Amino acid sequence: SGGQPSLLRRLNLIEELRINKDKSSLVKPLQTLIYMDSLLQFFVTIVSTVLALGFFIHFYRFNRPYTRPCSVPQAGGAWPIIGHMHLFGSQQLLHRTLGAMADKYGSAFTIKIGSHRALVISSWEMARECLVTQDRVFSDKPTIAASKLLGYNLAMFGFARYGPFWREMRKITTIELFSSHRIDMLKHIRASELGTAIRDLYNSWSGGVLVDMKQWFGELTLNVSLRMVGGKRYFGASAACDVVEARRTQKLMRDFLHLFGVFVLSDAWPSLAWLDFIGYEKAMKRTAKELDILLGEWLGEHKLNRSRGGKDKEEQDFMDVMVNILEEANVSGFDADTINKATCLNLLLGGSDTTLVTLTWALSLLLNNQHVLKKAQEELDIHVGTDRKVDESDIKNLNYLQAIIKETLRLYPPIPIIGIRAAMEDCTLSAGYHIPAGTRLMVNAWKIQRDERVWPNPDDFQPERFLTSRKDIDFKGQNLEFIPFGSGRRSCPGLSLGLRVVHITLATLLHCFEVAKPSSEDVDMTESSGLTNLKSYATSSSSDAPA
């Protein structure tokens, strides 16, 4: 009995040890469960906080008064990888294609050009927003293959990026080259070339030959531009070269404008700049080289002439003026010779081609609308008479003639899609559309100027509208429903000079000759593709007119 308590104590001790062991085996799982539960609560708290914060931001952005930005509608029909590039085919008229898309998607929509996004504007309200309100934002130009290869690596101010160089060149062209005083000093050139061309036309008429007026306008406008820019004339008596060389130069300029209107792979996908799939870049380099050789020869002659005493100020052409300016000016970015050649080529092409385009369409419209032609000639008989020639000073009195030019430019703007621009920074349009930096801007002037809300019977040729309901509209780009020469910082600086040539040429032609169609059929009004909206050459015979 003395050993029994000892045995009981031993058994109790063993039982106690067993119980303690069982308890210790439960501690770790219990601690793990408590830890996991805490972690889950922490995770749920974080997620709930993020969701609540996200909901608050979403609610704040999309429910505060008006300031909610949204994306511009994207046009359908984009293909994988290339986007809407298939719309830019050589046989398609882009301004008409985009105009039809505007009827479907609205006055503002976007398209994809390879890896780039472009904003297409087709109403005067949206044009005002982009070209006036947000003018500085959209003052840049995208760098494309043509502007580099044909535009002297962006030295041609019309295609230069927005910045100090462009601002300096814009100032030089506006103040020094296209001032009213400079344009007046060159009046004798316009009068001389027009007089020579009229005599040549008279000789053709007396021989009973049908005249291709498009060719006549082309030779005249090119001679005027050549003389004002470089002191040359390439057609007619006392030409600086033979007919073969003149035609070659004319073709080079047409090639330049055509190549500027095509799209190459690198324009859509910069990473493919090494691949010249169709050969456009090779053609650009060849055309640029030939034009550079020609301009280099002119520049050399001008420098030599200057070293020998130069010309009187009244006789200086644009290249003379540029030589003088660049000798004293500090224009950074390019050497003086490159700037001179690039600027003169810009002026030469812009001055001759857009003028040719406008005159060709104007005469074609008059031939198809004989009642308008008759009224224009009656106005000339009243204000000029038959005993003298038309002078530039007469134009201000020829209101109906001015209306004819305006209506021509409304129906057939020389550049239907105003020079493509690029957004320099993010911006938000008044409609709430968010436009990211780098977005390209395409303003469809052709579509805007045929908006039936503004222009009743928009496809009809009615010069009278500019004498009545639209008599206060001018060419300066302030009326966004009529922008044949653009608006804002990037508008055409040579507008005044170009209009003088157009008005005096058409007035003189109608004053000196009776013009008629070669047959009873209407003149074909087919347009051609390219940078400028030149009347198609495919049916050129129908644009011939006996004078």
Contact 110, 72 (CB under 8 A): yes
CA 121 to CA 110: how far, in whole Å? 9
> What's the average model confidence in pLDDT over 365-382?
98
pLDDT of amino acid 19: 53
**Residue 130 labelled as part of a binding site:** no
In this structure, the dihedral spanned by the alpha carbons of residues 327, 332, 334 and 335, taken in order and rounded to 10 degrees, is 30
Report residue 13's pLDDT band, with 50, 70 and 90 as the boundaries: low
Taken in order 513, 514, 517, 519, is the CA torsion positive or negative? negative
pLDDT of amino acid 205: 74
Contact 433, 130 (CB under 8 A): no
pLDDT of amino acid 63: 42
Tokens (6 digits) for 411: 């129906």
CA 354 to CA 363: how far, in whole Å? 14
> What's the average model confidence in pLDDT over 3-12?
56
Residue 25: pLDDT over 80: no
Least confident of 136-140, 252-256, 310-314, 373-377: 310-314
pLDDT digits (tens, 9 = 90+) for 202-227: 887 776 678 889 999 999 999 999 99
pLDDT digits (tens, 9 = 90+) for 71-95: 899 999 999 988 998 887 656 789 9
Give whichever of 51-65, 211-225, 320-334, 374-388 has the largest mean pLDDT. Answer: 374-388
C-alpha dist (Å) from residue 69 to 29, 260, 430: 54, 35, 9
pLDDT of amino acid 74: 93
Residue 50: pLDDT over 50: no
List the one residue out of 459, 458, 492, 455 whose CA is nearest residue 477: 492
Contact 508, 233 (CB under 8 A): no
The percentage of the chain sitting over the pLDDT mark of 90, rounded to a whole number, equals 63
CA 119 to CA 109: how far, in whole Å? 6
Burial class (CB in 10 A: 0-12, 13-18, 19+), 298: buried
Report residue 8's pLDDT band, with 50, 70 and 90 as the boundaries: low
